[in-house]
Amino acid sequence: MRLKALLTLALLGASALAHADPALQALLEQTLAAARDKDHLPAVAVLIQIDGKIAAEAALGVRALGHPEPVTIGDRWHSGSDTKAFTSTMIARLVEQRVMNFDDTLAASFPAFAKDMNQACRSITVTQLLSHTAGLPPLTDDKNLPPFLAVIKSADGVKAQRTTIARNYLTMPPASKAGEFEYSDLRFIIADAIAEAHRQDVGRSHPRTDLRAARHHECGLRCAGQFGQV
């Protein structure tokens, strides 16, 4: 197939398809309908981009189960763990700017509490955080939520929460061997904290020091809301 496509469940623009491929558009809509039915999804949206141009886009379903309002390609979507890619992009830009390095260790990234880290955590690198090979706890099970909330309860603001999470969880032994793949939410929270610390260090030379604004800027997002904390 001639596609060199990027399929993204994300924040979709409302641009018109002046030169859409009718066959591709029909295939996309058919595929969306099948996926929605199979997984019982309220809604699904996909954009196909070829050579930097939108070739097809579609949104199918309702905005909320039990409600009749249909979704549209102009709606804002909860991007969830897609933001991990945003964080990786932002960190890559900081590496390009020589603000930080992919080989930076956790001990070097958090000197204020490096001595309190578990010995095995000190040598974990930024690359391992971003590739889910750091060995840290996954933090993806509902049973992990109460202790997680207890950790951040006393922290004032999202920035402080990220640092508190890093300080707390890095005192614990790894959950798996570093270098082995295991999907993790925790690792990207810690990666965010590292990026945030570096942006504060460079200060005025990098005007977008707010982490959320920086992520949106680096990834070309025009607008976004906030769903939850951390």
Secondary structure of the chain as H, E, C letters: CCCCCCCCCCCCCCCCCCCCCHHHHHHHHHHHHHHHHHHCCCEEEEEEEECCEEEEEEEEEECCCCCCCECCCCCCCCCHHHHHHHHHHHHHHHHHCCCCCCCCEHHHHCHHHHHHCCHHHHCCEHHHHHCCCCCCCCCCCHHHHHHHHHHHCCCCCHHHHHHHHHHHHCCCCCCCCCCCCCCCCHHHHHHHHHHHHHHHHHHHHCCCCCHHHHHHHHCCCCCCCCCCCC
Element (H, E) at 59: strand 53-61
Please compute the mean of the pLDDT values over residues 110-119 and round it to a whole number: 96
**Is residue 207 very low, low, confident or very high in pLDDT (cuts 50, 70, 90)?**
very low
Rounded Cα–Cα distance for residues 104 and 124 (Å) = 8
Six-digit token pair at 23? 């066959």
**Is residue 216 very low, low, confident or very high in pLDDT (cuts 50, 70, 90)?**
low
User: For residue 223, what pLDDT is reported?
Assistant: 57
Residues 138 and 114 in one domain: yes
pTM: 0.67
Residues 42 and 125 in one domain: no
User: For residue 203, what pLDDT is reported?
Assistant: 42
Residues 72 and 97 in one domain: no
Domain that holds residue 26: 22-77
User: For residue 208, what pLDDT is reported?
Assistant: 41
**Candidate from 26-30, 79-83, 123-127, 208-212 with smallest mean pLDDT:** 208-212
**Is residue 12 very low, low, confident or very high in pLDDT (cuts 50, 70, 90)?**
very low
Instruction: Provide the number of structural domains found in the chain.
Output: 2
The average confidence (pLDDT) of the chain is 81
Residues 111 and 152 in one domain: yes
**Candidate from 17-26, 69-78, 124-133 with smallest mean pLDDT:** 17-26
Residues 133 and 41 in one domain: no
pLDDT, greater one: 116 or 200: 116
Is residue 101 within 8 Å of 145, Cβ to Cβ?
A: no
Q: Which residues is 47 bridged to in the sheet?
A: 57
Please compute the mean of the pLDDT values over residues 151-162 and round it to a whole number: 91
Q: What is the dihedral of CA 68, 73, 74, 80, to 10 degrees?
A: 90
* CA torsion through residues 38, 56, 221, 86, sign: positive
CATH number at residue 139: 3.40.710.10
Q: Given 46, 77, 108, which residue is the final one in a domain?
A: 77
**Is residue 9 very low, low, confident or very high in pLDDT (cuts 50, 70, 90)?**
very low
Which residue matches tokens 């196909």?
Answer: 48
Counting other chains too, the contacts that 204-207 makes at CB distance below 8 Å and 24 or more residues apart are: 206/97, 206/99
Please compute the mean of the pLDDT values over residues 26-44 and round it to a whole number: 93
Does any domain span residue 144?
yes
Please compute the mean of the pLDDT values over residues 221-227 and round it to a whole number: 53
